[in-house]
A and B are shown apart, each in its own frame.
Chain A
Amino acid sequence: MSVAFHQRIQYALLDERLQQAVYAATGRLRDKRRGSIVPGQLPDYQELRTHAHHIKKHTMENLDYYLEVLARRVEERGGRVAWCRDAGEVQEVIGRLARERGIRLAVKSKSMTSEEVHLNEALERSGVEAVETDLGEFIIQLAGERPYHIVAPAMHKTRQQVADLFEAKLGVGRVEEIPRQTMIARVVLRKKFLEAGMGISGANFLVAESGAVVIVENEGNARLATSSPRIHVAVAGVEKVIPRAADLAVFLPLLGRSATGQPLTSYTSFLSGPRRAGELDGPDEFCLILVDNGRTRILADRGKRETLYCIRCGACLNTCPVYRRIGGYSYPGVYSGPIGAILTPQVLGLSHEPELPFASSLCGACAEVCPVKIDIPRILLELRGEVKKQEARDRRWGPEKLGFLVWAWLMRHPRLFELAGLAAQAMLSGPGDGRWIRSLPGPLKAWTASRDFPPPAARSFRQLWRRRVRTP
């Protein structure tokens, strides 16, 4: 485990206030989701999940076809499409769009893809002020942080911390009431919406046959960012495409419920190209940025391809016993939780944080709640296998490897195994109080730093078996 990864985890575990806040917030989201998918609310839930999985599978297996249809339709409707291989190309294209139009201010609605390509920093460098307008994103932008959670980016901030931030960064008096804080943000951001030359959004879905971008939100900041400025730029990973508008009847009920327990969010925008002739308002120009940034590499791996089915609902984070303890900032990369643990190694490379796929109990809760049925535990196991294979190739045999070699050898030698078992029993059961063992001596200490051992049984299985055979 890298020192940084380890330290971030320890830091989160020691912060009691953070622990409580994240545990409570994820717990509420988890309960809302649960309540919204019960048979009385959504009788077709399992059928919808299966159908959503099949649609994603089909689209990914024919991705080149659907992307070409999508691009053609966007262009037919007067929009432009920019294909970007990596973060640098996204930054360059959007920077150029702003420069060519003399735009100095851009309003942004929530987009994990734009976080992934570090768009804000790049725009600032090229002299464009990029303002996050989702309240949570606005707060973490003021704090200079990254999203803590895919759906609730400022989940870890308290109203007092928000008050400090607003006071320091916005030059307003100290306000700790949440509704008033929200109104401060409204006033500050309203001005930005009306002045901005560019609106940058993400996309929850791209509808191929319509050439449309679909954005799901509650605040309305995405509607404003895509309607008020004269150019709308949508940044989306290539995997966001679905074939038909009608497929939204499958995905929208799953997304809202899985994310926040809502049958439908406050706003779902279905946007295709710039304002058309005769329409009252809307942008003059529309540009869709299609981002690869490692996605085609994931696509090439049949076993892990389904990572690309993700619709970024965050349900796996809210249910994950590990995320709920170590929080969003322990994870390397912008995507946290179980989905981050399989996405980040595939995008940034396994060597970026080789321990990440191991930071899971493989309990399977993530796969159970995933609305598109991504088998996250299986993919974690595959990634673990790859890490270990790489270690073997590099001939990096840590003490753990040695331990397992000894273990394997012992298991092949029954008498020695039994002797070792007796020795361990004698060493460990000391007072014989039957309590769990929390710490082992010597080099085994590292193993028990994050694991507890059950106490050895009074009699081993072999002893019991022999007795059973003797006295039928």
Chain B
Amino acid sequence: MPAREHILHKIRTALGRSSGQPPGEAPPVRLRVPAAEAGERVRMLAERFNGTVSHAPSAADARDHVARLVDGRRAVACPSPLLERLGVFGLPGVEALPDGVDGVRAACAAAEVGITGAEYALADTGALVVIASGQESRLASMLPTVHITVLAADRVLTGLDELFTTVPDPAAFSSSMVLIGGPSKTADIEQILTLGVHGPREIHLVLV
């Protein structure tokens, strides 16, 4: 018997189930979305975010913040419409990601700063939600030592429960959704916290 059939057969024998038998009733989905006004969400996010938060009332402010954070260092920016609209690509040091997987990897590995957008942020844990696409790269938020994210302030959700209410199945959109709760960190040697073990040491959020 092939392994797949063998394993399924053993499971069905163990459970007394037959092939094609529908499952029993699943426990209900448990999602509790608290009521919170936009201002309250942003305030909580800023308080809990594991990095710096800059508030940008206008596109020009946002661009200035990004420029200040990049500080002329070698940076790559994802081709997101928001970053283009803000004029991030015209900033000194900032390059667009090249085409092709190998090019993206090499550019991200060579850059000191990665600039990305984010789909959402979660107020209760201060986490960013980055969904891979033709506009957002996976590696731009991992390979550089500094990660800058620009997010529209109306994209702040209360938490995981609201995220899965809004996006019940992330796999429907993308091969990768990642929640970023802070910088890359480890405490594997003597439980001493060290930042930037594999990925960014710093994260900066610019809220537009």
| Residues of A participating in the B interface, judged by any CB pair closer than 8 Å | 21, 25, 28, 44, 51, 54-55, 58, 61-68, 71, 73, 77, 81-85, 89, 133-136, 139, 152-155, 157-159, 162, 178-179, 181-182, 185-186, 189-190, 193-194, 207, 209-212, 218-221, 223-224, 227-228, 238, 243-250, 252-253, 262-276, 278-282, 284, 290, 292, 296-297, 299-300
Contact = CB atoms under 8 A, between A and B. Distances in A.
A71 B31 CA distance: 26
A83 B29 contact: no
Given A220-B198, A278-B133, 11 more contacts: A55-B26, A58-B24, A153-B188, A159-B189, A223-B138, A238-B7, A238-B11, A249-B163, A263-B125, A279-B176, A299-B15
A358 to B, nearest CB: 27
Contacts of A77: 171, 175
22 contacts: A64-B11, A135-B188, A136-B186, A139-B188, A159-B189, A162-B189, A182-B197, A189-B198, A243-B26, A244-B29, A247-B29, A272-B171, A272-B174, A275-B132, A276-B175, A279-B133, A279-B174, A280-B132, A282-B132, A296-B14, A297-B14, A300-B13
B194 interface: yes
B44 interface: no
Contacts of A267: 178-181, 184
Of listed A67, A85, A249, residue having the most chain B CB within 10 A: A249
B191 A25 contact: yes
A445 B163 CA distance: 62
A162 B13 CA distance: 48
Given A268-B179, A269-B176, A270-B170, A220 B197 contact: yes
Given A85-B7, A223-B178, A135 B168 contact: no
B62 interface: no
Contacts of A67: 7-8, 11
A61 B24 contact: yes
Contacts of A190: 109, 198
A262 B181 contact: yes
Contacts of A68: 8
Contact of A179 (B11, B175, B194): B194
Interface stretch (B35-43, B64-72, B84-92, B97-105): B97-105
Contacts of B23: 58, 62, 65-66
B7 A271 contact: no
A421 to B, nearest CB: 49
B185 interface: yes
Contacts of A157: 189-190
A250 B22 CA distance: 24
B176 to A, nearest CB: 5
Given A51-B27, A219-B185, A270-B170, A135 B197 contact: yes
Contact of A178 (B50, B79, B124, B189): B189
Interface in B158-208: 160-161, 163-165, 167-172, 174-192, 194, 196-200
B178 A268 contact: yes
A44 B143 CA distance: 37
Given A178-B189, A218-B184, A245-B168, A282 B138 contact: yes
Contacts of B29: 244, 246-247
Nearest to A29: B191
Given A89-B3, A139-B189, A154-B188, A219 B170 contact: no
Nearest to A25: B191
A71 B7 CA distance: 13
Given A228-B139, A266-B180, A296-B14, A182 B194 contact: yes
B181 A227 contact: no
A290 B172 CA distance: 22
Nearest to B22: A65
A74 to B, nearest CB: 10
Contacts of A63: 11, 15
The 4 tightest CB contacts between A and B, nearest first, are A220-B199, A300-B14, A272-B171, A136-B188
B96 to A, nearest CB: 11
B137 A219 contact: no
B17 interface: yes
B177 A270 contact: yes
Contacts of A84: 3
B12 interface: yes
Given A133-B198, A182-B189, A280 B176 contact: no
B191 A28 contact: yes
A265 B181 contact: yes
Contacts of A238: 7, 11
A281 B132 contact: yes
A266 B97 CA distance: 25
A275 B197 contact: no
Given A55-B27, A267-B181, A279 B175 contact: yes
B8 A85 contact: no
A61 B189 CA distance: 40
A158 B175 contact: no
A271 B169 CA distance: 11
A245 B142 contact: no
A270 B171 contact: yes
B164 A248 contact: yes
A178 B194 contact: yes
Nearest to A262: B181
A221 B149 CA distance: 20
A155 B191 CA distance: 8
Contacts of A182: 186, 189, 194, 196-197
A266 B185 CA distance: 8
A44 B31 CA distance: 12
A189 B3 CA distance: 35
B175 to A, nearest CB: 5
A28 B137 CA distance: 37
A268 B181 contact: yes
B142 A278 contact: no
Nearest to A227: B138
Contact of A181 (B14, B109, B189): B189
B7 A227 contact: no
Contacts of B160: 248-249, 252-253, 264
A69 B181 CA distance: 30
